[in-house]
Amino acid sequence: MQKFIRLSFIALVLIVGVSAANSQEERYKYVIEESFYVVKPENTEKFVQVYREKLFPFWSEMQKRGIIVGEYKLYSQRLHTLDPHWTYKTVVVFPNYAALDKWLELRDEVYDRLFPGEGGYKAPRKEIDAITVSHWDEFIREIPLQK
């Protein structure tokens, strides 16, 4: 009987812990993707050109469809410290993970509609990859500071 009570108590603690974790996760409203690129100086203008002409219109369409929140943004460092760990960073904000999945599902269809005959979303990505030394993505979440 005592073993049953202990197991019941452990199960209750686990259920309460999972419920608290789920309600905690609901506080994180957005999924933020930051993509970092290291680009050689001779390729920086080409990089910005591809983003302006091929990827910004694509992400603007995703915004119109409600797949992302706010504008798609491209950043560069104003001042480089010891090493420029990255040359450019893009930021896109998804309202939730379901929107991220929807983006993956729609990206070729949307890109083909905007740029017919260019090979889908992978075409500008290949162009970017060809002039990029390294690239990585980080999915981050904002942690609210007020309860």
pLDDT in tens, 103-116: 999 999 999 999 99
Give residue 13's pLDDT band: very low, low, confident or very high (50, 70, 90): very low
* Per-residue b or e along 70-89, where b marks 16 or more CB atoms closer than 10 Å to that residue's CB: eebebeeeeeeeeeeebbbe
Query: Residues 117-132: what's their mean pLDDT?
Result: 91
DSSP string, 4-41: HHHHHHHHHHHHHHHHHHHHHHHT---EEEEEEEEE-G
What 8-state DSSP symbol labels residue 96? S
Contact between 31 and 139 (Cβ < 8 Å): yes
Q: Has residue 15 been placed in a domain?
A: no
pTM of the model: 0.75
Mean pLDDT of the chain: 82
Question: Which CATH number does the domain housing residue 96 bear?
Answer: 3.30.70.100
Q: Among 20-24, 32-36, 104-108, 140-144, where is mean pLDDT lowest?
A: 20-24
75-102 pLDDT tens trace: 998 776 666 689 999 999 999 989 999 9
- Whether residue 57 lies inside any domain: the answer is yes
**Residue-number span of the structural domain to which 107 is assigned:** 29-140
Q: How many domains does the chain have?
A: 1
Evaluate whether residue 78 is within a structural domain.
yes
pLDDT over 90, % of the chain: 57
Distance CA 142, CA 93 (A): 11
Answer yes or no: is 93 within a domain: yes
